[in-house]
């Protein structure tokens, strides 16, 4: 190999190392208690290990009040391998009232603290949008999808030209109707899952690779 060829090969290796495309950073968004952290935990369980979690879950809204990021997830599906960073974000809400937490058995001081932190979490989640390559929007398939939160998030994603994947979660429940979500937002891909039970996850990973790979 002459000197010019050696130079070309060496330069190519250096260039690829320095400018190799990094994995997409994907935010997991949605209203409180839609199952965002449950989905995040399921992804880690499937691709990292059974002991890995992004955070705790609770029936009380706004359990996640600070965004958490996990880098370098390698997902293999349907013959494709993708690298992703995922960000589990606090639940988005248009109104946060500490009285709602008191009704769940929290003390006055605990409720006010949680309300303050939840409000800060919403602000943090919105700020994260500037650093994302795409969004997974988690919706509860037992509830009406035409909420202000869902419509606002989708409108915001469309305005930013961010790729969006809708996840219709909780399909294991008897009153789940993911078809209503698909009818509400037909312009975006949607996949029905139960993040808790692991139902539909193969289809989810295929959709994930297609949308963000």
In the sheet with 164-169, reading across from the earlier edge strand, the strands are 68-77, 80-88, 24-29, 134-140, 164-169, 190-192
Q: Rounded CA gap, 206 and 116, in Å?
A: 38
Structure confidence at residue 177 (pLDDT): 97
Domain covering 22-99+106-210, topology: Rossmann fold (3.40.50)
Residue 10 has pLDDT above 90, yes or no: no
Q: Lowest mean pLDDT of 146-150, 168-172, 183-187, name the range.
A: 146-150
Residue ranges covered by each domain of the chain: 22-99+106-210
The per-residue pLDDT for range 114-142, each reduced to its tens digit, is 778 888 888 888 899 999 999 999 999 99
Residue 16 has pLDDT above 60, yes or no: no
Could you tell me which residues are beta bridge partners of residue 138?
167
Residue 7 has pLDDT above 70, yes or no: no
Structure confidence at residue 13 (pLDDT): 41
How much of the chain exceeds pLDDT 70, in percent?
84
The per-residue pLDDT for range 66-118, each reduced to its tens digit, is 789 999 999 999 888 999 999 999 888 888 777 777 777 788 888 888 778 88
Query: Which residues are CB-neighbours of 117 under 8 A, at least 6 positions away?
Result: 62, 65, 66
DSSP 131: G
Structure confidence at residue 65 (pLDDT): 58
Structure confidence at residue 12 (pLDDT): 41
Tell me the whole-structure pTM to 2 decimals. 0.82
Structure confidence at residue 184 (pLDDT): 96
C-alpha 142: how far from its chain's center?
Answer: 19
Q: Rounded CA gap, 97 and 111, in Å?
A: 9
Q: Lowest mean pLDDT of 56-60, 85-89, 90-94, 177-181, name the range.
A: 56-60
Contact yes or no for 149/92 (Cβ under 8 A): yes
pLDDT band at 205 (very low <50, low <70, confident <90, very high): very high
Residue 1 has pLDDT above 60, yes or no: no
Nearest 5°: the CA angle 70, 74, 75 is 115
C-alpha 150: how far from its chain's center?
Answer: 14
């Amino acid at each position: 190999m002459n000197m010019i060829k050696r130079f070309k090969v060496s330069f190519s290796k250096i260039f690829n190392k320095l400018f190799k495309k990094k994995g997409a950073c994907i935010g997991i968004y949605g209203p409180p208690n839609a199952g965002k952290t449950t989905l995040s935990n399921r992804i880690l369980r499937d691709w990292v290990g059974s002991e890995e979690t992004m955070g705790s879950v609770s029936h009380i809204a706004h359990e996640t009040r600070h965004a958490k990021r996990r880098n370098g997830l390698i997902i293999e599906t349907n013959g494709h391998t993708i690298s992703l960073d995922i960000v589990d974000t606090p639940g988005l809400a248009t109104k946060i009232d500490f009285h709602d937490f008191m009704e769940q058995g929290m003390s006055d001081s605990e409720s006010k603290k949680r309300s303050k932190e939840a409000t800060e979490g919403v602000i943090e989640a919105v700020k994260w949008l500037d650093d994302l390559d795409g969004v997974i929007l988690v919706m509860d398939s037992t509830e009406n999808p035409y909420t202000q939160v869902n419509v606002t998030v989708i409108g915001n994603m469309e305005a930013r030209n961010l790729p969006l994947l809708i996840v219709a979660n909780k399909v294991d429940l008897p009153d789940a109707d993911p078809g209503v979500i698909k009818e509400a937002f037909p312009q975006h891909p949607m996949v029905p899952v139960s993040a808790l039970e692991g139902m539909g996850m193969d289809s989810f990973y295929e959709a994930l690779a297609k949308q963000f790979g």
